[in-house]
Structure 1
């Protein structure tokens, strides 16, 4: 009866070894020589110059949302391409409508200047 659970136990043990092993190895092998440069806050390659709670420009969030939007577009294209033979003309037309709406949205954003950095 317990031999049925052996693969699950091995999966858990291998997962823990892959997850925890490099951390423990890094702690054991790495040199512990902290200095001012290593302990300083790092942000985008330059020194932090203001409070961490300062306001960000809305363009950062806009670019993040646009990235997620077009990343999801690609995520829908891969399964569609795999089953294109089975879904036929209806699936092809549905995906072209989907892509058309996304392209119209992309052109609108481009014309509004949402992709421009000043």
Structure 2
């Protein structure tokens, strides 16, 4: 275990040392120090407060996106797994549909 710890510390310190050696010693002054926002200069205040509904919409999307990743391995081994795995997947999809129904009912999928 100590070898793995030393190896991890060595890799981290090696990466930092390599970065320190290869970095430019005198950074150029100019456009490189400006804030980059899609290539356009911002107009007006840049600290705009977004409504929480955008973040909730993104969280719901991530939740269902990550959960559907579990469907792929099941579909690949569907014929080998048998009836028990099929029933478990039906329960899993039912829970997903229940969560989608709840999010819809609470207005979590409304954009405005």
Q: How far 1:66 sits from its partner (Å)?
A: 2.6
**Is the counterpart of residue 102 in structure 1 residue 102 in structure 2?**
no
Paired position in structure 1 for 2:15: 22
Spell out the pairing of 1:11-90 with structure 2 (5 A cutoff). 11-32=4-25, 33-49=27-43, 50-52=45-47, 54-77=48-71, 85=80, 88-90=82-84
Measure, in 1, the Cα distance between the counterparts of 2:50 and 2:72. 35
Write the deviation string for residues 7-57 of structure 1: whole angstroms up to 9, x where unpaired. Answer: x222112212322322221121121323232222234544344243x2114
Query: Per the alignment, do residues 22 and 80 of structure 1 end up closer, same or farther by CA in structure 2, a change over 3 Å counting?
Result: same
Calculate the TM-score normalised by the size of structure 2: 0.59
- Unmatched 5+ residue regions in structure 1? 1-7
CA distance in 1, matches of 2:62, 2:110: 14
Tell me how many residue pairs correspond in the alignment: 104
TM-score by length of 1: 0.57
RMSD: 3.7
The 2-side partners of 1:26 and 1:94 are apart by 50
Higher relative contact order (CA 8 A, sep 6+): 2
Task: Summarize the Cα distance change of 1:9–1:56 in structure 2 as closer, same or farther, 3 Å threshold.
Answer: same
